[in-house]
């Protein structure tokens, strides 16, 4: 690491952070200039809190007399310092990293369940929550900053965990949040259009994901588990084999190390299939609904086998794991139609969700969805086309418009919907849109409320409001019952 030190070099550091609010006696503060906040603004504050030194890409200010380490890349330095200060905690765990556009969260929950079924104490970092055994904390972001992750992994080790599993988003990988972590297993679920506002091209998006597997983060994982039914997955498997890395493949459509056959899906009974692995074959019955979840179960099983878990424990874990909240989650009610909340917020995820719904019902599909503001605009029209083609009724609404005009977002989605259907509504108010869908439903229909899943808020004009699709759907169902 290229670095230039100014001031004392003998101070003892007990912690490292990028967040000035976490600074305390013995902390190294890494000043990062982000897109909206410049950490250098808080240097005086962290020194008052007891920080022993500053790490920055900038030169030491003329009026600053404390310890200052100037580095080439502050985020990379944050990851390195976090690993060292926390005793390289990832080395004391069987760490599983899960990356891909869709399926990361459910696969992470499945890995956690399989490890737990084998009698081990697991930890996990997901979009939904951070968990050590039974201790749960609501997640701040999909993949925390390196300092938070390493601190979490140290806590997991100290709590007696042997295994940890974490989601690794493409942006997090690109921003060095996963640097210097030792992954025992890395999982690739799939790669479809998303985050192109950040990455620019699918090739750049793929390359960011690939870093988790090829050693550019510090060390190569011992094993790489890859879905080869995905075009980018096949490319990744070929690229890694060329580097003589261990690759474990999964497929529903072709020969692979792990395969699923005789797949049956029911909205009531869940999903069953025959699972073939290098360790033998088992029949699986899972409460998860849909073929996309079969890929998640294949990946989790492959990772579990790489960690030495036996098939009996794997079967038990798959049979009880209900997955992550808001992933094809059925809203319970006594009516004669189904209401499902799903996190699908990309064109491919929406396609899979609506295909699953179509396979499970002979009635109509009523889809409520929107797209996030200040995010990848290229997926809006394709999502509209998919909704229009696979739904009988579409209700376009707001997701998290953030600082964008909700009506502008809706109009861009509408361009896609109207290519495939003229049976749609545009209702900006998400609550009103969900009520409309529930009131339109008839016997045998499925109402799909897509985009937000587990999220219990909406972001509008810089403000955060409580909003939970599941709660609103229940309110709408109560209203329907009162009016019937």
**Mean pLDDT on 178-192:** 96
Which of 146, 110, 150, 104 has its CA nearest to residue 127?
104
Q: What is the model's pLDDT at position 462?
A: 85
**Mean pLDDT on 256-269:** 94
**Reported confidence tier of residue 1, pLDDT bands at 50, 70, 90:** low
Residues of the chain with CATH 3.40.1390.10: 3-72
Q: What is the model's pLDDT at position 95?
A: 98
| Predicted confidence (pLDDT) at residue 308 exceeds the cutoff of 70 | yes
**Mean pLDDT on 200-219:** 94
Bridge partners, residue 137, by sequence: 130
Say how many CA atoms lie within 13 Å of 326 toward its Cβ: 19
**Mean pLDDT on 207-227:** 96
CATH number, domain 329-483, options 3.40.50.300, 3.40.50.261, 3.90.190.20, 3.30.70.270: 3.90.190.20
**Reported confidence tier of residue 461, pLDDT bands at 50, 70, 90:** very high
The terminus-to-terminus CA distance of the chain in angstroms comes to 69
Q: What is the model's pLDDT at position 36?
A: 83
Q: What is the model's pLDDT at position 367?
A: 98
Which of 170, 123, 174, 114 has its CA nearest to residue 149?
123
Enter the pTM of the model.
0.88
Residues near 204 by beta carbon (within 8 Å), at least 6 away in sequence? none
**Reported confidence tier of residue 199, pLDDT bands at 50, 70, 90:** confident
**Mean pLDDT on 235-258:** 97
| Predicted confidence (pLDDT) at residue 454 exceeds the cutoff of 70 | yes
Over the stretch 74-124, which tens digit does the pLDDT of each residue have?
Answer: 999 999 999 999 999 999 999 999 999 999 999 999 999 999 999 999 999
Over the stretch 223-236, which tens digit does the pLDDT of each residue have?
Answer: 999 999 999 999 99
Residue 175 contacts residue 212 (beta carbons within 8 Å): no
Residue 401: CB atoms within 10 A of its CB come to: 23
Q: Which fold has domain 89-320?
A: 3.40.1190
Q: What percent of the chain has pLDDT over 90?
A: 88
Q: What is the model's pLDDT at position 7?
A: 80
DSSP state of 467: -
**Mean pLDDT on 26-38:** 91
Q: What is the model's pLDDT at position 198?
A: 73
- DSSP labels for 242-293? HTT--EEEEESSS--SEEEEEEEEETTTEEEEEEEETTEEEEEEES--SHHH
Average per-residue pLDDT in the chain? 94
Residues of the chain with CATH 3.40.1190.10: 89-320
| Predicted confidence (pLDDT) at residue 281 exceeds the cutoff of 80 | yes
**Mean pLDDT on 214-221:** 94
Residue 395 contacts residue 365 (beta carbons within 8 Å): no
**Reported confidence tier of residue 239, pLDDT bands at 50, 70, 90:** very high
CA distance linking residue 243 with residue 261, whole number of Å: 31
CA distance linking residue 131 with residue 139, whole number of Å: 9
CA distance linking residue 187 with residue 78, whole number of Å: 25
Give buried/exposed letters for 276-311 (b at 16+ CB in 10 A, else e).
bbeeeebebebebbbbbbbbbbbbbbbbbbbbebeb
CATH tag, 3-72: 3.40.1390.10
**Mean pLDDT on 215-244:** 96
Over the stretch 399-443, which tens digit does the pLDDT of each residue have?
Answer: 999 999 999 999 999 999 999 999 999 999 999 999 999 999 999
**Mean pLDDT on 343-366:** 93
Over the stretch 148-166, which tens digit does the pLDDT of each residue have?
Answer: 999 999 999 999 999 999 9
Q: What is the model's pLDDT at position 4?
A: 86
CA distance linking residue 71 with residue 65, whole number of Å: 18
CA distance linking residue 234 with residue 256, whole number of Å: 11
Over the stretch 43-79, which tens digit does the pLDDT of each residue have?
Answer: 999 999 999 999 999 999 988 888 999 999 999 999 9
More confident residue, 86 or 199: 86
Residue 229: CB atoms within 10 A of its CB come to: 17
**Mean pLDDT on 12-40:** 93
More confident residue, 376 or 281: 281
Residues of the chain with CATH 3.90.190.20: 329-483
Residue 282 contacts residue 325 (beta carbons within 8 Å): no
| Predicted confidence (pLDDT) at residue 278 exceeds the cutoff of 80 | yes
**Mean pLDDT on 275-295:** 96
């Amino acid at each position: 690491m290229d670095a230039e030190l100014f001031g004392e070099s003998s101070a003892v550091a007990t912690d490292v952070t990028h967040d000035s609010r976490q600074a305390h006696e013995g902390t190294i503060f890494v000043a990062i200039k982000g897109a909206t906040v410049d950490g250098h603004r808080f240097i005086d504050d962290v020194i008052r809190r007891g920080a022993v030194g500053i790490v920055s890409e900038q030169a030491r200010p003329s009026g600053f007399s404390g310890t200052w380490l100037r580095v080439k890349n502050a985020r990379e330095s944050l990851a390195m310092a976090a690993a060292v200060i926390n005793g390289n905690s990832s080395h004391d765990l069987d760490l599983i990293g899960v990356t891909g556009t869709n399926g990361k969260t459910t696969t992470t929950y499945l890995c956690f369940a399989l490890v737990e079924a084998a009698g081990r104490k697991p930890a996990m970092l997901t979009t939904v929550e951070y968990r050590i055994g039974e201790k749960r904390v609501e997640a701040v972001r999909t993949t925390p900053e390196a300092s938070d992750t390493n601190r979490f992994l140290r806590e997991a080790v100290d709590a007696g965990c042997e295994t940890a599993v974490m989601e690794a988003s493409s942006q997090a990988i690109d921003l060095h949040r996963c640097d210097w972590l030792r992954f025992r297993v890395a999982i690739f679920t799939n790669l479809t259009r998303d985050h192109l506002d950040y990455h620019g091209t699918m090739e750049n998006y793929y390359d960011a994901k690939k870093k988790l597997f090829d050693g550019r983060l510090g060390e190569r994982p011992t094993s790489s588990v890859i879905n080869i039914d995905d075009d980018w997955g096949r490319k990744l498997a070929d690229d890694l084999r060329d580097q003589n890395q261990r690759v474990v493949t999964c497929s529903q459509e072709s020969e692979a190390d792990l395969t699923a056959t005789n797949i049956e899906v029911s909205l009531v009974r869940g999903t069953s299939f025959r699972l073939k692995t290098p360790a033998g074959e088992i029949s699986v019955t899972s409460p998860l609904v849909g073929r996309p979840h079969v890929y998640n179960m294949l990946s989790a099983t492959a990772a579990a086998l790489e960690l030495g878990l036996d098939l009996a424990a794997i079967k038990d874990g798959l049979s009880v794991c209900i997955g992550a909240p808001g992933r094809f989650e059925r809203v319970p009610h006594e009516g004669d139609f189904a209401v499902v909340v799903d996190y699908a917020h990309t064109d491919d995820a929406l396609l899979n969700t609506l295909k699953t719904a179509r396979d499970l019902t002979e009635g109509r599909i009523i889809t409520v969805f929107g797209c996030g503001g200040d995010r990848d605009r290229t997926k809006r029209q394709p999502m509209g086309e998919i909704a229009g083609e696979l739904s009988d009724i579409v209700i376009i609404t707001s997701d998290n418009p953030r600082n964008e005009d909700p009506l502008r977002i809706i109009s861009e989605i509408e361009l896609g919907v109207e290519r495939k259907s003229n049976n749609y509504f545009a209702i900006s108010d998400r609550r009103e849109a969900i009520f409309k869908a529930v009131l339109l439903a008839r016997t045998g229909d499925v109402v799909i409320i897509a985009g937000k899943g587990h999220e219990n808020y909406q972001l509008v004009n810089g403000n955060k409001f409580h909003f939970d699709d599941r709660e609103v759907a229940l309110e709408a169902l109560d209203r329907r019952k009162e009016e019937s």
